[in-house]
């Protein structure tokens, strides 16, 4: 369900056990999460990003299938003209 999270884990050679240890969850839960079979609480998404992937945006890291991946490095995203004011 989170292909970018899995890709970043692979880049850093992180295992489901590594995430599980930090999140105080079972590795099976992390595996379910990566398959889209477990819900990810926002509090745990924050821990994952801050601990392992501070260089990634939340939008990139936790995007579902079909995300382009163009925002791997966190950077400001301009607002559309009609949202500015």
Asked if residue 16 is part of any domain, the answer here is yes
Strand, helix or coil at 71?
coil
The per-residue pLDDT for range 46-62, each reduced to its tens digit, is 999 999 999 999 999 99
Query: What is the CATH number for 41?
Result: 1.10.260
Compute how many other C-beta atoms are within 10 angstroms of the C-beta atom of residue 73.
9
Asked if residue 36 is part of any domain, the answer here is yes
Q: Check residue 36 and give its pLDDT.
A: 85
Give pTM, 2 decimals: 0.72
Instruction: Provide the domain count of the chain.
Output: 1
Asked if residue 20 is part of any domain, the answer here is yes
Asked if residue 77 is part of any domain, the answer here is no
Question: Domain range for residue 26?
Answer: 3-62
CA distance 42 to 63: 13
Contacts of 16 (CB under 8 A, 6+ apart): 27, 30, 31, 34
The per-residue pLDDT for range 14-37, each reduced to its tens digit, is 999 999 999 999 999 999 999 989
Compute how many other C-beta atoms are within 10 angstroms of the C-beta atom of residue 40.
17
């Amino acid at each position: 369900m989170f292909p970018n999270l899995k890709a970043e884990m692979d880049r850093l050679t992180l295992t489901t056990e590594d995430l599980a240890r930090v999140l105080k969850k079972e590795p099976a839960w992390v595996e379910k999460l990566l398959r889209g079979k477990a819900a990810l609480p926002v509090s745990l998404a924050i821990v994952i990003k801050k601990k392992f992937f501070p260089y990634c945006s939340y939008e990139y890291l936790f995007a579902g299938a079909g995300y382009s991946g163009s925002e791997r490095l966190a950077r400001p995203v301009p607002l559309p003209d009609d949202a500015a004011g």
